């Protein structure tokens, strides 16, 4: 048996060895082919990368020519065209009906709904559609392609608690003491256009995106950067204008006596700020002082964006935290909450212009306020039925904040963003409506509209359950009055003085 096995092994061994040799050869061949394919792929990729690089270089060169050509046209237009004189300016005014000095208190009973009041279309406050701004990539902005910063400088400053550092071409600071003349403005643009300005603009736009600034906040960021580079007023304004235009905005400048005036366009009604109309567009005069007339040009550098005041994302500034203790009683039980807010966000809001109600209703609150709502209120209402939950939120706003009108607290009218109710000792009707609408839409998912009466702002909510009281029919849906300023009122209770008044309607869309 062993001899037979040995004979078989002796006979088959050459074939096994031969097969093993063939397998080794095949493996070496396969490895060689794989290496060859890898080298060919790398060579192809290298060639493709090189071709792509050549393409991009050609594109950058072509774009540089486009920008350079437009700059030549633009500087000629600034210096040689006839500027238009404006000697009458417009101003948007707010409703001036007096508000209740003392918060009225509601009687416990709610009357059955007599049938919803149908709101006519003319009572809906019309606002131009403002699409959320999509930040174009830097290569699509009217900037020449960036070059490496060789003769570079840098500046650092704090923007409402947020540290900012911007590197820039040192040549950008060489054009101070600009005069308010067409020639000087044209020369300023020409000189700045010859610098390597794009890296600074890229850095500023990255800060804007990173901390969630709206367009007005970006203007303030650019202005602060300009103040670091120039000490004289006209040069600061011209640098701000230059950067805003290069950032894709339709900013303009005008001449008033010996000063340059910045003009920013917006479709939003801004109050207490003069503006002029050019081709149907409102251009607001920024820090214009006692300007009684000005000259400006008719054409813009490009078809740029108008300024959007909506706060579409949470502000993320210095990261400071302050607390506000809030207490109130609901259905015989005492509640105590600890709400957080960012003082830097409050300081930022102080600098924003007052505008139409929608800007405040639709603003996205800061992260500390959102988290406070999530931590404090959501756990309390999660086990309540819908009727109890919305009345809990309504009385929370009614009873947790002390009431004073804006003229009593500030000496003038001032609308609040939701965060601001935590920072000031008092608030009035539109401020409470802003916070309440945010709470209801966020925690309960209901649609809310603002209801503006003479001298008073409240809200109405599109409920999914039956309730009595005052209701409105609007856009095919029924909304029930919910007044955060009517002390102890439940959903459905309207102040008696407004029961038979048809309100103006403000659409609310925090995702606008």
Q: What is the pLDDT of residue 93?
A: 87
Distances (CA, A) of 60 to 37, 44, 150: 34, 24, 19
Average pLDDT of the chain, as a whole number = 87
Q: How confident is the model at residue 228 (pLDDT cuts 50, 70, 90)?
A: very high
Any idea of the CA torsion for 358, 359, 362, 366, to the nearest 10 degrees?
Answer: -160
Q: What is the pLDDT of residue 276?
A: 95
Q: What is the pLDDT of residue 252?
A: 96
Can you tell me the mean pLDDT for 84-94? 91
Name which of 163, 158, 160 is nearest 352 in CA terms: 160
pLDDT at 480 over 50: yes
pLDDT at 47 over 70: no
What is d(CA 418, CA 431) in angstroms, rounded to the nearest whole number? 7
- The residue ranking higher by pLDDT, 187 or 137, is 187
Q: Which residues contact 497 (CB under 8 A, 6 or more apart)?
A: none
Q: How confident is the model at residue 119 (pLDDT cuts 50, 70, 90)?
A: confident
pLDDT at 371 over 70: yes
| Range from 53-57, 69-73, 417-421 that averages highest in pLDDT | 417-421
- Lowest mean pLDDT: which of 23-32, 460-469, 501-510? 23-32
Q: What is the pLDDT of residue 511?
A: 62
pLDDT at 185 over 90: yes
Q: What is the pLDDT of residue 324?
A: 97
pLDDT, tens digit, 9 for 90 and up, residues 125-147: 766 555 555 666 666 788 888 78
pLDDT, tens digit, 9 for 90 and up, residues 427-472: 999 999 999 999 999 999 999 999 999 999 999 999 999 888 999 9
Q: Residues of the chain with pLDDT > 70: what percent?
A: 84
pLDDT at 16 over 50: no
Q: What is the pLDDT of residue 96?
A: 76
Q: What is the pLDDT of residue 13?
A: 41
Name which of 148, 137, 145, 136 is nearest 62 in CA terms: 145
Q: What is the pLDDT of residue 127?
A: 61
Can you tell me the mean pLDDT for 396-415? 95
Q: How confident is the model at residue 156 (pLDDT cuts 50, 70, 90)?
A: very high
Q: What is the pLDDT of residue 21?
A: 47
Q: What is the pLDDT of residue 111?
A: 60
What is d(CA 390, CA 473) in angstroms, rounded to the nearest whole number? 20
Q: What is the pLDDT of residue 106?
A: 84
Can you tell me the mean pLDDT for 189-207? 96
Q: What is the DSSP letter of 162?
A: E
Q: What is the pLDDT of residue 6?
A: 45
pLDDT at 118 over 90: no
What is d(CA 447, CA 477) in angstroms, rounded to the nearest whole number? 10
pLDDT at 57 over 70: no
Query: Residue 396 class from Cβ within 10 Å (0-12 exposed, 13-18 middle, 19+ buried)?
Result: buried
What is d(CA 85, CA 357) in angstroms, rounded to the nearest whole number? 32
Q: What is the DSSP letter of 377?
A: I
Q: What is the pLDDT of residue 318?
A: 84
Residue 461 bridge partners (DSSP): 448, 480
Q: What is the DSSP letter of 270?
A: B
Q: What is the pLDDT of residue 88?
A: 87
Q: What is the pLDDT of residue 148?
A: 80
366 and 454 in contact (C-beta within 8 Å)? Answer: no
Instruction: Return the SS3 of 317.
Output: coil
Q: What is the pLDDT of residue 138?
A: 63
What is d(CA 459, CA 222) in angstroms, rounded to the nearest whole number? 37
Q: How confident is the model at residue 338 (pLDDT cuts 50, 70, 90)?
A: very high
Q: What is the pLDDT of residue 42?
A: 64
Can you tell me the mean pLDDT for 72-80? 93
pLDDT, tens digit, 9 for 90 and up, residues 245-294: 999 999 999 999 999 999 999 999 999 999 999 999 999 999 877 888 99
């Amino acid at each position: 048996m062993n001899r037979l096995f040995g004979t078989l092994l002796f006979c088959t061994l050459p074939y096994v060895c031969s097969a093993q040799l063939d397998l080794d050869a095949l493996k070496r061949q396969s490895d060689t082919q794989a290496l060859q394919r890898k080298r060919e792929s790398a060579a192809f990729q290298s060639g493709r990368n090189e071709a792509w690089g050549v393409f991009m270089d050609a594109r950058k060169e072509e774009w540089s020519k486009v920008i350079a050509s437009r700059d030549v046209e633009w500087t000629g237009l600034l210096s040689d065209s006839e500027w238009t004189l404006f000697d009458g300016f417009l101003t948007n005014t707010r409703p001036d009906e007096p508000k209740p000095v003392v918060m009225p208190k509601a009687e416990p009973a709610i009357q059955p709904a007599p049938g919803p009041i149908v709101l006519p279309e003319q009572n809906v406050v019309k606002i131009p559609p403002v699409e959320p701004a999509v930040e174009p990539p830097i290569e699509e902005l009217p900037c020449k392609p960036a070059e490496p910063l060789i003769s570079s400088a840098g500046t650092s400053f704090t923007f409402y608690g947020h540290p900012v550092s911007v590197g820039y071409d040192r040549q950008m600071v060489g054009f101070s003491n600009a005069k308010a003349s067409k020639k000087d403005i044209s020369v300023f643009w020409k000189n700045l256009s010859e610098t390597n300005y794009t890296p600074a603009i890229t850095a500023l736009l990255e800060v804007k995106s990173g901390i969630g600034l709206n367009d007005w906040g970006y203007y303030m960021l650019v202005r602060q950067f300009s103040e670091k580079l120039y000490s004289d007023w006209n040069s600061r304004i011209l640098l701000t204008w230059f950067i805003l235009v290069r950032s894709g905005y339709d900013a303009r400048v005008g001449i008033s006596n010996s000063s340059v005036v910045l003009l920013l366009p917006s479709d939003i009604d801004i109050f207490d700020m003069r503006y002029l109309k050019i081709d149907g567009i409102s251009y607001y005069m920024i820090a214009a002082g006692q300007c009684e007339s000005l000259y400006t040009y008719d054409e813009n550098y490009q078809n740029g964006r108008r300024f959007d005041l909506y706060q579409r994302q949470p502000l993320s500034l210095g990261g400071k935290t302050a607390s506000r203790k809030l207490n109130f009683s609901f259905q015989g039980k005492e509640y105590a909450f600890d709400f957080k807010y960012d003082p830097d966000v409050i300081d930022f809001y102080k600098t924003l212009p007052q505008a139409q109600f929608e800007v405040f209703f639709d603003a996205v609150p800061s992260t500390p306020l959102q988290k406070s709502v999530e931590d404090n209120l959501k756990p309390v209402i999660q086990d309540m039925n819908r009727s109890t939950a919305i009345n809990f939120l309504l009385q929370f706003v009614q009873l947790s904040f002390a009431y004073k009108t804006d003229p009593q607290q500030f000496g003038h009218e001032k609308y609040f963003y939701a965060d601001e109710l935590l920072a000031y000792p008092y608030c009035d009707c539109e401020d409470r409506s802003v916070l309440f609408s945010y709470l209801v839409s966020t925690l309960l998912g209901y649609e809310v509209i603002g209801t503006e009466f003479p001298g008073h702002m409240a809200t109405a909510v599109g409920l999914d359950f039956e309730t009595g009281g005052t209701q409105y029919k609007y856009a095919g849906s029924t909304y029930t009055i919910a007044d955060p300023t009517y002390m102890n009122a439940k959903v459905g209770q309207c102040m008696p003085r407004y029961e038979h008044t048809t309100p103006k309607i403000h659409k609310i869309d925090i995702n606008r």
